[in-house]
Amino acid sequence: MTDLIALVDRFGRRHNSLRISITDRCNIRCFYCMPEHNAEFLPRSSVLTFEEIERLARLMVHRCGVRDIRITGGEPLVRRDCVELVAMLAKIEGLADLSMTTNGILLREKAVELRSAGLQRLNISLDTLDEATFVKITRRSGVDQVIAGIDAAIEAGFESIKLNALAIRGISESELVGLVRFAIERGVTLRFIEFMPLDSDRAWQSADVLSGDACLELLSRAFGQVTPAGREHLSSPAETFVLSSEGREGTIGIIRSVTRPFCGDCNRLRLTADGGLRNCLFAQTETPLRDAMRDGCDDDMLIQKIQQCVGEKHAAHGIDSNNFRPPDRPMHAIGG
Ligand code: SAM
Ligand code: SF4
């Protein structure tokens, strides 16, 4: 049996969680992620094939101790035959958790197939329940499709479904309460995520972030007591809180990526759709694995490159520092 090569960085953080972006394309255009017009996408030949993704995933699970994989994008459900890829990854022995983040637009048609293929958990993005606000955020119509997708996913029986809402000043204040009620009615967890500087337009300003504190304040005004219930789990970025709406109790999460970064507990690596391994959302460099594979690199050589990438990880993202510079790639091209 081959020895396990744990992916531990200079600061003692062990990396056992991998996010795989399977496309940089998307069927909507959220302003906090993509440009409204003329988005640039990778040529198809640059994108990893399913076999290449599976090879890297298998290697990182079997040889490097990766325990969970999240499939993301761009919008993962726009990649043709994505269910087939789910089935390939679900077969990797030793993988404890396989999940996906999606905008939900195509979920109504795909939920049952995804579950049957072995997908365990889903995070669905939902910033608003109001169509006009949805159009303002995404520059496309479709909130009803997303809601139908959420309901189809609940029916399909995933192990867990979470809804993710970005917390954006000037937009989210009027949405929070309705979103919490919606989530509690359906028995799913809603998490608010502070808006980060990853938009293609480079328009982000710290004043645009609706902080976790501000969200909690608004929620306690609407629901009364909001009781802290600890972190979801040790390496989870979400702090959880319990509140009740019309006699029903529910859990919400707050992810304070900007105002209270959790870099010290980060256990994540990210693989871009074109095979760049990133040690941080905000990394300025990537380790290109696609060409290494296409040039015939063997597994040991790939592992050396993966270790090197982990070794170069910085202590923190530094959004709060004066010389912070956002990464060259926007969110849809990294994989959130
Ligand atoms: N298209 C899928 C979706 O939207 O769920 C998956 C990819 S998307 C990049 C993953 C997550 O990143 C979504 O929950 C989205 O809301 C979040 N996200 C996108 N841009 C962000 C930003 N600038 N700051 C914080 N989160 C962001
Ligand atoms: Fe698409 Fe997700 Fe980015 Fe919105 S956040 S534009 S749904 S990739």
Q: What is the pLDDT of residues 193-245, one digit of tens each?
A: 999 999 999 999 999 999 999 999 999 999 999 999 998 777 788 999 999 99
Helix, strand, coil shares of the chain as percentages rounded to 5? 35, 20, 45
CA 12 – CA 235 distance, rounded (Å): 13
Is 307 part of a structural domain of the chain? yes
User: Is 330 part of any domain?
Assistant: yes
- The ligand with the least distance to the CA atom of 72 is 1
**What's the pLDDT tens digit per position in 273-306?**
999 999 999 999 999 999 999 999 999 999 999 9
Say yes or no: CB of residue 331 within 6 Å of ligand 2.
Answer: yes
User: Cα(83)–Cα(143) distance, rounded to whole angstroms?
Assistant: 23
| Domain assignment present for 186 | yes
Quote the ligand 2 centre to 82 CA distance (angstroms).
17
Average pLDDT over residues 74-87: 98
**1 within some domain:** no
73: nearest Cα among 37, 48, 36:
48
Number of domains forming the structure of the chain = 1
Does residue 6 fall inside a structural domain? no
Q: Minimal CA–CA distance to 7: which of 242, 287, 252, 236?
A: 287
Q: Ligand 2 pocket: which of 22, 27, 30, 168 to mutate (most atoms <8 Å of CB)?
A: 30
CA of 23 from ligand 1 middle (Å) equals 13
**C-beta of residue 254 within 8 angstroms of C-beta of residue 239:** yes
25 lines ligand 2 (CB under 6 A): no
pLDDT of 1 above 70: no
Q: Which residue from 125, 201, 209 has its CB within 8 A of the most atoms of ligand 1, so it is best to mutate?
A: 125
Of 1-10, 128-137, 211-220, which gets the smallest average pLDDT?
Answer: 1-10
Does 110 reside within a domain? yes
Strand, helix or coil for residue 141 = coil
> What SS3 state is found at 83?
helix
Range of the domain at 224: 17-334
102: CA distance to ligand 2 center in Å? Answer: 8
Ligand 2 centroid to Cα of residue 276, in Å, is 19
Q: CA-to-CA distance for 270 and 106, rounded, in angstroms?
A: 24
CA pseudo-torsion sign 33, 47, 99, 256 = negative
Residue 10 lies in a domain: no
- CB of 266 within 6 A of ligand 2: the answer is no
Distance 304 CA to ligand 1 centre (A): 30
| Tokens encoding 61 | 């699970």
70: domain CATH number is 3.20.20.70
Lowest-confidence segment of 1-5, 105-109, 209-213, 313-317 by average pLDDT: 1-5
> Is residue 4 included in any domain, yes or no?
no
